[in-house]
Amino acid sequence: MSDESEVARDTRIAWHEAAHLCVGRALGATYGGATVEENAELGFSGLCWGPEWEARFSGQTSSVIEQIDELMPRDGDTRDDVAEVYKHVHTRCVELVAGSEIEMLVGDAWPATDDRRQEQQLAALIFSTPESVDAFIRACRVEARAILRRHADVLAALAAALLQLRTLDGAQIDDTIARAVAARQLAEEHGRRRGWQAVIARANTFETEQHHA
């Protein structure tokens, strides 16, 4: 692999994983870390993991989903006892689709087979037809894009940190987000002050003009 293609690959993976992190944290998920390093033995080129170091985007979750499916209510059963599952499916699917969504926003998306499989399996826990599953996932994509646009500065900061450090732990992820948010708030405050100064300047000009009229 040439240096140019390796940089392009790393950049794509960094934005993909940063999108998972950005959307996940916006929705309240917690992380133990993320990396853009490839692990051929475990079958990933980039990865996010949870606070206990379990992979958040690992195909090994299939058996867990199958076990949960056996406990899900059928027609006529109350949904009260599984409200947390419904909430988790929504949050998790928005988080999962985010990686490919940012790739499509900045260029062509590479196949993310494991993400797609988990989306389908999770959505099937709460929807009973392929049409409703697909509609739900499309809605998750729209929501993920909205979050990514709303927090574009956080996304860019996370991608840059991943490219620089290669691997981030949970504290570094939160620190990167905090710094980006603080910079945004500072810029917004400076903008408000400039706006207020412009209002004062216009008021002074008006008062001067009225005085000499």
* Cβ count near 94 (within 10 Å): 26
142 against 84, higher pLDDT: 142
Domain limits for position 131: 3-170
- Is residue 190 one of the residues assigned to a domain? no
Q: What is the CATH number of the domain that holds 25?
A: 1.20.58.760
The span from the CA of 61 to the CA of 53, in Å, is: 14
- Is residue 136 one of the residues assigned to a domain? yes
Give pLDDT, residue 17. Answer: 95
Q: What is the mean pLDDT of residues 68-82?
A: 74
- Is residue 204 one of the residues assigned to a domain? no
Closest CA to 44 of 55, 52, 54, 53: 55
144 against 41, higher pLDDT: 144
Q: What is the DSSP string of 193-212?
A: HHHHHHHHHHHHHHHHHHHH
Give pLDDT, residue 111. Answer: 67
Confidence of residue 61 (pLDDT cuts 50, 70, 90): low
Give counts: helices (H), strands (E), the chain: 7, 3
- Is residue 211 one of the residues assigned to a domain? no
The model carries a pTM of 0.78
Confidence of residue 3 (pLDDT cuts 50, 70, 90): low
- Is residue 202 one of the residues assigned to a domain? no
* Cβ count near 164 (within 10 Å): 9
- Is residue 181 one of the residues assigned to a domain? no
Residue with tokens 């990686």: 99
- Is residue 179 one of the residues assigned to a domain? no
CA angle at residue 74 from 71 to 77, to 5 degrees?
A: 95
* Cβ count near 10 (within 10 Å): 18
Residue with tokens 């979750």: 61
Domains in the chain, number: 1
Are the C-beta atoms of residues 16 and 46 closer than 8 Å to each other? yes
Q: What is the mean pLDDT of residues 9-23?
A: 94
- Is residue 88 one of the residues assigned to a domain? yes
Range with lowest mean pLDDT among 182-186, 187-191, 201-205: 201-205
